[in-house]
Amino acid sequence: MKLFLSLLFRNRLAGFGAVVLGIVVLAVLATPFLPLPDPNATDTAQKFLRPGTAGHLLGTDHLGRDLLSRLLWGTRLSLAVGVAAAVMAALGGSAVGLIAGYVGGRTDNIIMRGVDMLMAFPYILLALAIVAALGPGLLNALIAVAVVNIPFFARNIRGIVVGLAHREFVEAARLSGMSHIRIMLSEILPNVVPVIVIAMSTTVGWMILETAGLSFLGLGSQPPTADLGSMLGEARAALITAPHTALVPGAMIFLIVMSINLLGDGVRDALDPRLRSGALSRPMAAALVRRNGPVPEASDDLLALQDLHTEFHAGKRVLRAVSGVSLAVKPGECLGVIGESGSGKSVTALSVMGLVASPPGVITGGAARFKGQDMIGADFETLRRLRGDRIAYIFQDPLATLHPLYKVGRQMAEAIQVHHQIGNAEARARALDLFRQVRIPNPESRLDSYPHELSGGMRQRVGIAMALANDPDVIIADEPTTALDVTVQAQILSLLDDLRRERGLAIVFITHDFGVVAQLCDRVAVMYAGRIVEEGPTMAVLEAPAHPYTRRLIACVPELGGGRRELAAIPGLPPAVDALPPGCAFAPRCDKAQEACRAGDIALEGASPRRVRCIFPEEAIA
């Protein structure tokens, strides 16, 4: 709640709206207690008095009634009717939307077509028809306005409910023995309440306006009762001679509707989780770089990460996702980076080409050198030239990285044409050739497929083909086979292995699977809490792990052919990277930890390529 208010008032206009509306609401609430003349007492001798007359602060109307009194009583009525109409429309519309969305199928179809029909009428015509059928009167105007607004709520809520009705927690509720009605009320409704509130806050103003419109036409409140619309209607005849009688209620309508709309927008922005997390703010084209220390010297590797630090700044929290990672690959070499979620392996990969989303990501130190050229802090044009050309990425989910509305052949051609000025026909021929290389069956027809028409394995082949499009020197593959079935995974892995042997590609392969690392990678680096804890030739690390974390992580993974057994588990959880313990990050979970482990920084020691970050390693390393 506190967070909500602070977010709301961060938006100046919404704060202004809240203040104006607050004053109006306070005034109308206090009206019965204020020393005001009777709003309906006529005194034709005193008609059309100008504002500021003694005893009539805002003057009088054509029957000599006190305008201030009528204004406050009228506003009271208009606000009450508008809010009541909004509540009725919200209740009715949400009930309709909830039922249609939850039940689905034919019921949904019939209800929503009915709602569509309601929407097809111009609203004022429909409201007039309802009032004509029910007879004029404020209550009937209220019903008309509520009915006219039901479709808006019904459609909004149904859209949300359809998404929720098949979520797993709803199925879990059914398994807990809940009836359908109970599920709708206690499982789904709490999840749509924010949407209902947002929709209400943005429509209340509109409904006040509609009620005023009906009253203006004489269909709402009946004389002598004042509401804002009927005051305007009565003042119409004297618009030229006594403009203040129309201006007073007009200004009030303007103030109310404007302040409610400003406040409503503020409420929507403050409640919308996407707006709150800042996810809608566009990340920069390249990650923000703010290096504190000196930049390390160049090395002669193809790709070298040197003492890389990447942090995420979220409010006051600083998440040290990567703290001091150094890696290098040579042509034709495959380096595996292994770690659990949150170990910083993906952020390391993204930092190389400045792809970490900024804000909140900041690269705070180190270098990423391609053939000696530092890419961290390089200008955007340099990065853009290298991205996808010399260094290419393969991501975990090709469905998320391919554009759903373009044919895959078109996307392949685009990837090539960004870096090479060639014609469309030539680009297409190139794409076809690449599809053949990654062994996509029927490549000609596949070029004209949309991503959703391909299976997961085929999509990942397209992803690999796209990475190969410009004959890169390095491929960074971030869990490329995690989403795939084992038989498909085996094929993708052997494809990558062939490619690096044939083309001398260097591959940085990020994974959590030791089996995959063992089959594909020459060397492996194990990451924990943003640091490399052990690295070395794959077989050396897997057969004789030196870091306790590596040893125990390997023991956790069951291997096929081992039979039924108790598995070794590591107690506890990986540490949060904004509250890392001093010393070894694994110490709290390690059964060999001693005082020295918790004291201070522990260096990655040993002779390259075999190194370990542990004072009491499992194995002495050469």
Partner 1 sequence: MSDPALQVEDLSKTFDVGKTLLGGARGHVRAVRPMSFTVERGETMGIVGESGCGKSTLARMLVGLAPPSTGRIEIAGRAQDRADPAAFGRLIQYVFQDPLSSLNPRKTIRQIMEAPLRLLHGMNRAACDARIAEIFDAVNLRPEFLSRYPHEFSGGQAQRIGIARALAASPEIIVLDEPVSALDVSVQAQVLNLLAQLKDEFGLTYLFISHDLAVVEAVSTRIMVLYFGAVVEIGPADQVFARPRHPYTRLLAESAPVVGRPLSAPEQKGTELPDPLNPPPGCAFAARCPRASETCRKLDPPLSDMGHGQYAACHHPL
In the set 2, 282, 452, 565, which binds partner 1 (CB under 8 A)? 565
Strands (E) located in 234-314: 288-289, 303-314
In the set 2, 45, 54, 106, which binds partner 1 (CB under 8 A)? 106
* Residues 428-457 interacting with partner 1 (rule: CB under 8 A): 439, 441, 455-457
Q: Does 314 bind partner 1 (CB under 8 A)?
A: no
DSSP state for residue 183 in the 8-state scheme = I
CA 120 from chain centre, in angstroms, equals 33
Q: Does 139 bind partner 1 (CB under 8 A)?
A: no
Q: Does 593 bind partner 1 (CB under 8 A)?
A: no
> What torsion, rounded to 10 degrees, do the Cα atoms 318, 320, 321, 327 define?
150
Shortest distance (Å) from residue 605 CB to partner 1:
24
Q: Which is nearer to partner 1, 365 or 575 (CB)?
A: 575
Q: Which is nearer to partner 1, 296 or 456 (CB)?
A: 456
Report which residue type is found at 259.
S
Q: Does 340 bind partner 1 (CB under 8 A)?
A: yes
Q: Which is nearer to partner 1, 299 or 494 (CB)?
A: 494
Q: Does 561 bind partner 1 (CB under 8 A)?
A: yes
For β-strands 303-314 and 317-329, DSSP reports them as antiparallel
Q: Which residues contact 460 (CB under 8 A, 6 or more apart)?
A: 394, 398, 480, 481, 483, 484, 488, 492
Q: Does 592 bind partner 1 (CB under 8 A)?
A: no
Shortest distance (Å) from residue 585 CB to partner 1:
13
DSSP string, 429-459: HHHHHHHHHTT-SSHHHHTT--GGGS-HHHH
Q: Which is nearer to partner 1, 371 or 503 (CB)?
A: 503
For 221, half-sphere exposure in the C-beta direction (CA atoms, 13 angstrom radius) is 26
Shortest distance (Å) from residue 574 CB to partner 1:
8
How far is 20 from 251, CA to CA, in rounded Å? 13
Q: Does 513 bind partner 1 (CB under 8 A)?
A: yes
First to last CA, the chain: 59
Report which residue type is found at 489.
Q
For β-strands 531-537 and 523-528, DSSP reports them as antiparallel
Q: Does 518 bind partner 1 (CB under 8 A)?
A: yes
Q: Does 569 bind partner 1 (CB under 8 A)?
A: yes
Residue 112 structure tokens: 């929503």
For tokens 């200008």, name the residue.
379
Residues 145, 210: contact at Cβ < 8 Å?
yes
Shortest distance (Å) from residue 144 CB to partner 1:
34
Q: Does 158 bind partner 1 (CB under 8 A)?
A: no
Q: Does 568 bind partner 1 (CB under 8 A)?
A: yes
Residue count, binding to partner 1 (CB under 8 A): 64
Q: Does 516 bind partner 1 (CB under 8 A)?
A: yes
**Residues at the interface with partner 1 (CB under 8 A):** 106, 167-169, 171-179, 187, 190-191, 340-341, 439, 441, 455-458, 485-491, 493-495, 497, 512-516, 518-520, 542, 552-553, 556-571, 573-574
